[in-house]
Structures are given as C-alpha cells and as structure tokens.
Amino acid sequence: MKQRSNVVYDCVLWIFNIMLDIFFREIRSRASHKVPLTGPVIFVAAPHANQFVDPLIVMRECHRRVSFLIAEKSMHQKGIGTLARLVHAIPVVRPQDMAESGAGRIHLLNAKTNPTLISGVDTRFLSQVRPQDTIILPKNTGKLQVVRVLSDTELEVKKWMDTSDPHHTSKLVSVLTKSEGTAYKCIPHVEQDSVYERVYDELNNGECITIFPEGGSHDRAEMLPFKAGVTIMALGAMAKYPGLDVKIVPCGLNYFHAHRFRSRAVIEFGNPITVPANLVEKFKNGGVEKREACGNLLDTIFYALKSVTVNASNDQTLMMIQAARRLYKPAANRKLHIAQVVDLNRRFVIGYNMYKDSPQVIELQQKVMAYNQLLKYHGLQDHQVPEINLREWRTFFLLLYRIMVLIVWGLLSFPGAILNLPIAIVAKIISTRKAREALAGSSVKISGRDVLATWKFLVGLVLIPTLYGLYTLIVLGLCLQTDWSWTVKLGLPLATWNMLPFISYASMRFGENGMDVYNFLTPFYFHDSSFRSLRPLYMALADPDSTSNLRLTREKLSQDITQLINEYGPRLFGDFDPSSGVYDSDPSENKQRVSELGEGGKTFSQIASEFVNNTAMDWLDDKNIFNWSRQEETDSSDETLYFLDKHGTISASTSDAEPYYRTGGSSLAFTKKRNERRKRRQSME
C-alpha cells in the first residue's frame, strides 16, 4: 500500500478548516469524546445533505485522520480529484454512474403466468445486458435484476412482485404492460472486491474510514435506504484479520440552512458500535447466513444513526415540531445552543410520535398552526414577538438606535463586500447551474440544494486567492507607474496581498452583525420586492393593540406547551427534570480529548485553525469591539414556518381555535418589568 503523507493531509485539512470557518458561522461538535482515540474506526454519517462538505466536517471534528469513500466519477473532476487524493480518499465505482439508456423498448407479455419474462422490441439484450445487471424503469418507478439473458429480445429477471406492497406492484405492472412498451436504463453489476480489500487493509493498519450509507447526497427531510456496503467492510475486515476490533461510530449531521453562506452546523457522535463475534462467524459462512449477518448489523447502524439525527415522517411534521420547540420555555429561561436545539428537536419528534393521538397534543397542534397564521398576518417571526414588548417612546428610540447601528455596520462591511462581490456572483451562478444538473441526473433529489454549498465552497477555494492575486497585480502595476522608491513599489503590493484576507474577514463579521440587526428590524422579503420593511418595531408604534394581543397569544401558548412537555417528558426520558431544565452543558465542552495524532494531541491543521479563529481574530468579534449584545439564540435559526391549507387560508379547525388567543391576562414578563419600574420610582420618591 502506498505510504500516507500525513503532513500533506494536515496542510490540506488546515486549508479546508479555514474555508469551513469562512462559509459557516458556527460548527458545533457534540459528544466527540465518544470517538475511540486508537484502533480502526468506521464513521457512518447521515443524512448526506451537503455533498463534499459533509466529509470535511467529519474530518474536522472527529480528531482522527480519516479516508472517506468518494464516487469514482468525482475523482475525474478538475480540482476535486486532486484534493481527494491528497486526503487519501478511496474511489468507489457506483453502478448508477455507469447507467446507459437501453436500446428499444421493453414490456411484460403476461403478468399472471410468467411475470419474470421480459420481452423487448428492437432491443439488444445480448450486447447490453449481463446477468446480475439491473434494469431501471422511467422516473425511478422500479428496478428489475437480470437473472439470465435468453436472446436479444428476451431476458429473465428475478421475482419482483411484492405481496406486502400491492400498490408498488400494481404500479410496476401498469408500466411494464403498456402496449407501446416502456423505455429503460441498464445498470451494470460492479464487483467492489478491490475497494473492499483496500478498506480491509486500512482498517487493519488502525486507520479510519468515513462512509455515507445512503450512497449519494440528497436534499430530502428523511434518510434514504441504507446500502449494505458498510456492513461488508466491517465484517469482512474482521473476518480477514482475526483479532481485529473494528468500531462503528454513527455521526449525525444537522444543518440550519445547509446551502446558505454563514449558516450553522452540528455534528453529533453516537456511542461506538462493537461488531458481535457471532455476526463475523455468520459472515464467514457465506450464503444466507452472510446476508443475515449484514442485515442485522445494518439494522443496528440504522437505529444508531436515528439516535443522533432528527427523523420526522414528513416535512409538515418537522415544521410543526420546530415551531413548538421555539415556543417551549426551558427552566429558568435557559438559552440553548445549536447542539441542544438539535437534540430537543429529536426529543420532540419522539414525543410527538408517541402522543400524537392525544387530545391535548391535537389541540396544541391546532393552536400552533393558528399562531403561525397570526405571525404571517403581521409579517413577523416568532423570536421577534418578545422584542416588541416596549413602551412607545422606548420603541421609537430603539428603532432609531438600531437603524443607526445598521448604517454603521453597513459602512464598515462595505469595502469587503465590494472587493468580494465577484466571488459571490460567480459562486451563485455556478452553484445554481450545478444544482440544476444534479437534479436532472438524480431520481432522489427534490431541488438539488445538497450541491449548492459544495460548489460555493469550491468556487471560493479557487477564486479567493485568484481575485486577491489580481488585486495585488493591479496595485503593483499602479505602483510601477510612480516614481516611488522600489521599497514602496514592492512593499505596497505585498502589504495589499497580506491585508486583503483581514479586510475581507473583518468586513464579513461587520456585515454579519449588521444582518443580525437587520433581521431584528426586517423579517421578510415581501413577495418579489428587493427590500424589507421595518415592520416589527413600526407595528409596536402604529398598532399596539395587535402587538399586545400577539404577545399574549405567544405567552399563553408557550405556557401550555411547556406544561405539556413537563408532563410527558419524564415518561419518555429518564434525564428529563422539569425543575432544572432538560440539558446540562454540551458534553463536548466538558470533556477534554487528547488525540494520539502528534505529541501535542492535535494535528497541525487543528492547531493552526484554532489559532486563526479563536485567538488571532478574536479582536474582530463585535462583542470585544463594541460590547454589542448580538442575538445568538439559535431558537430563531429555523425558517419561520406556516401551516396553510391548499387554498392558502386558515382551515376550519384553526379558525375554531381563534377565541383562545383573545383570552388571558397580562404578559408575565411585562408585568414583572412593570413592577420593578414601579418599585424603583417609589424608592426614588
């Protein structure tokens, strides 16, 4: 095996870390202390929602040097293949990448008497198809595995009728029995023995592998069916090398707007899975026992990944869960960081699935939907509602103050925004085009968002040094036209090259803080307009009755949801304590991990990245410069979510809940603040 170059690996990972810190506002690791410090490890990550960015986050946060599996076709892409080889990626030939359209059309002559005999018109089965190949029907309707090729116009397929899923079976029959036949694609069977052998050797050398069991990336809310390759790698390595103890570590990847610049990400590591010895013995026996061993281990991996990911049955359920989570008030009003938000979402999903038929839960679900309708009517996001609980004069001055702060941040960020505008434009164009191409070539993607961040990332990786080099050459050209000394002529371009990254980073942070203020003031794009209004604070001035009603609505709904969670939470989770809050601090923050990589416990890339981002740039943080209390609550990180019927109006059940929002007393928070002000005035008098 070719000797690894750890120095090159660490240098490339250091560059990736810088790019990740530029693209993401925050990447938080949870439970990274569970990763074994030594020995062979297979990191199994899901959902695969961000193409090439996903493995980079795993590489960054696992604190082990890893080799990830990558599609062979990606190795032939300019730049991507070179970088993948530098970080020891293992290419895998995916059968779907070798699919080709079949000649002619196929049809099923008799679905009742001989459902496995496929006939063709103008087909060339003898030259295009081999046993074990797969035939894919249009629009991913279904697939057929070839058993035997009889002639150019006839072949035999494996039994495909599934009595447990009559709807899918009838759909396949309707496609195959069309009088004109149907188009099809041929996917060849690919032997992966060479890939498995390389993985076995890597694991035997105590190295780590990262694999995404879903196969390709996607932008769906639910995980795709897992492929059995990861089980063959683990069981095969332990079967080939007796005494080898391969650990499988599940990695849950969770993003807040994965495709957006300066978004947030959370990676959570689950408990390492120990491969049972009896499964290894079954794997060695081959045949049915081998398939049974792989199936059992794959089930274990699937449920382990479910424990570190948010799994909702559909998008609507997930949106309702997120809305309820934002309204939940932890004990002592503790603010939650993004890793805790992800865990809370997961617990909410589990609780909802357990008690969704309860009358209490159904009633609260309708009230949450009605509350979201009120938010839409007022043009607000949920986290903005408490912010408008002010007296008129305070609201007026706060509005003026935030507008002035917004102007200051905008002016400070303007130089960097202009300098980097070409990068943003090119990244937008290329990523959008790549998303369209990926969507056209996939049967599982919804809009192709899973490739947007990857191509923005790659464009930045190329254009940032290129553009800064161009700016440096322009400055050099201008300096050469002057009669300055050569020290100045050469020193000024060099200073330009060195200062551009700092100017850009500072402008980005200033602009980021400005957007925080901007989002406080302006929650929505109104249809196709290119600007946002100053609606929230303006509403507090112009329509205090409506905003007061909205505050009371939220306060009452928050109390009801919190009461429900405190009632049902202890029944499901043993660590739930309503009196002290659900969470302790993030385990990854409390446990100091010392890696075996290097004498200092960390790779060069990790040390350098931490220095750049945690030390050298701390002075650029807005909190250090202006002591500005920036909004960091990740409860507002989700998009505002609405529940409309197909006509875009409130349903009857939602309308019935409206009287609920007309009741209730004063806001508890408002009353508390008012009483405090009264006491201060009385003491002064």
Q: Are residues 181 and 131 in the same domain?
A: yes
Q: Are residues 183 and 207 in the same domain?
A: no
- Cβ 33 vs Cβ 80: under 8 Å: no
Least confident range of 194-198, 606-610, 655-659: 655-659
Q: C-alpha 142: how far from its chain's center?
A: 28
Q: Are residues 153 and 226 in the same domain?
A: no
pLDDT of residue 364: 86
Q: Are residues 660 and 563 in the same domain?
A: yes
pLDDT of residue 667: 34
- Cβ 490 vs Cβ 295: under 8 Å: no
Q: Which residue has the higher pLDDT, 66 or 49?
A: 66
Q: Which residue has the higher pLDDT, 519 or 365?
A: 365
Reply yes or no on whether the pLDDT at 454 is more than 80: yes
Q: Of the residues 306, 341, 356, which one is the last residue of a structural domain? A: 306
Please report whether residue 622 resides in a domain. no
Retrieve residue 600's tokens.
């200092």
For residue 224, give the CATH number of its domain: 3.40.1130.10
pLDDT of residue 178: 87
Task: Output the CA torsion 497→501→504→508 (10° steps).
Answer: 180
pLDDT of residue 576: 75
Q: Are residues 210 and 289 in the same domain?
A: yes
- State the average pLDDT over residues 527-532: 34
Instruction: Supply φ then ψ for residue 638, to 5 degrees.
Output: -70, 155
Reply yes or no on whether the pLDDT at 458 is more than 60: yes
Q: Please identify which residue in the block is written with the tokens 């396949």.
A: 172
pLDDT of residue 621: 37
Please report whether residue 434 resides in a domain. yes
Reply yes or no on whether the pLDDT at 246 is more than 90: yes
Q: Are residues 651 and 548 in the same domain?
A: yes
Q: Is 665 left (phi over 0), alpha (psi -120 to 50) or beta?
A: beta
Please report whether residue 285 resides in a domain. yes
Q: How confident is the model at residue 284 (pLDDT cuts 50, 70, 90)?
A: very high
Retrieve residue 503's tokens.
């100017």
Q: Are residues 362 and 252 in the same domain?
A: no
Q: Of the residues 187, 220, 240, which one is the last residue of a structural domain? A: 187
Reply yes or no on whether the pLDDT at 300 is more than 80: yes
Q: Are residues 88 and 109 in the same domain?
A: no
* Nearest to 443, CA basis, from 132, 131, 185: 185
Q: Are residues 430 and 339 in the same domain?
A: no
Q: Are residues 207 and 258 in the same domain?
A: yes
Residue 352: CB partners within 8 Å, gap ≥ 6? 317, 320, 321, 361
- State the average pLDDT over residues 8-20: 92
Supply the range of the domain harboring residue 48: 6-93+194-306
pLDDT of residue 54: 93
Reply yes or no on whether the pLDDT at 226 is more than 60: yes
pLDDT of residue 614: 42
For residue 112, give the CATH number of its domain: 2.40.30
Q: Which residue has the higher pLDDT, 576 or 212?
A: 212
Q: What angle do CA 66, 466, 258 make, to 5 degrees?
A: 50
Residue 680: CB partners within 8 Å, gap ≥ 6? none
Q: Are residues 136 and 167 in the same domain?
A: yes
Please report whether residue 608 resides in a domain. no
Q: How confident is the model at residue 648 (pLDDT cuts 50, 70, 90)?
A: very low
Q: Which residue has the higher pLDDT, 542 or 375?
A: 375
- State the average pLDDT over residues 473-499: 92
CA distances from 659 to 133, 516, 650, 662, 667 (A): 62, 34, 14, 5, 17
Task: Report the predicted TM-score, pTM, of the whole model to 2 decimal places.
Answer: 0.71
Give the ranges where 328-420 is alpha helix by DSSP (H).
338-355, 359-378, 392-419
Reply yes or no on whether the pLDDT at 23 is more than 80: yes
Please report whether residue 368 resides in a domain. yes
Mean pLDDT across the chain: 77
Q: Are residues 248 and 333 in the same domain?
A: no
Q: Of the residues 251, 276, 306, which one is the last residue of a structural domain? A: 306
Summarize pLDDT for 367-379 with one digit per residue, the tens.
887 887 777 766 6
CA distances from 12 to 17, 18, 29, 144, 234 (A): 9, 10, 21, 43, 28
Q: C-alpha 594: how far from its chain's center?
A: 27
Q: Which residue has the higher pLDDT, 37 or 541?
A: 37
Least confident range of 30-34, 352-356, 399-403, 567-571: 399-403
Please report whether residue 616 resides in a domain. no
- Residues of the chain with pLDDT > 90, as a percent, come to 32
Domain total in the chain: 4
Q: How confident is the model at residue 670 (pLDDT cuts 50, 70, 90)?
A: very low
pLDDT of residue 683: 52
Summarize pLDDT for 185-206 with one digit per residue, the tens.
999 998 888 999 999 999 999 9
pLDDT of residue 632: 38
Reply yes or no on whether the pLDDT at 216 is more than 70: yes
Q: Which residue has the higher pLDDT, 406 or 327?
A: 327
Please report whether residue 673 resides in a domain. yes
pLDDT of residue 674: 46
pLDDT of residue 16: 92
- State the average pLDDT over residues 72-76: 88
Please report whether residue 588 resides in a domain. no
pLDDT of residue 629: 35
Q: How confident is the model at residue 616 (pLDDT cuts 50, 70, 90)?
A: very low
Residue 578: is the preceding peptide bond cis (ω within 30°)?
Answer: no
For strands 66-71 and 90-92, give the pairing.
Answer: parallel
pLDDT of residue 590: 36
Summarize pLDDT for 407-422 with one digit per residue, the tens.
887 788 888 889 999 9
Q: How confident is the model at residue 382 (pLDDT cuts 50, 70, 90)?
A: confident
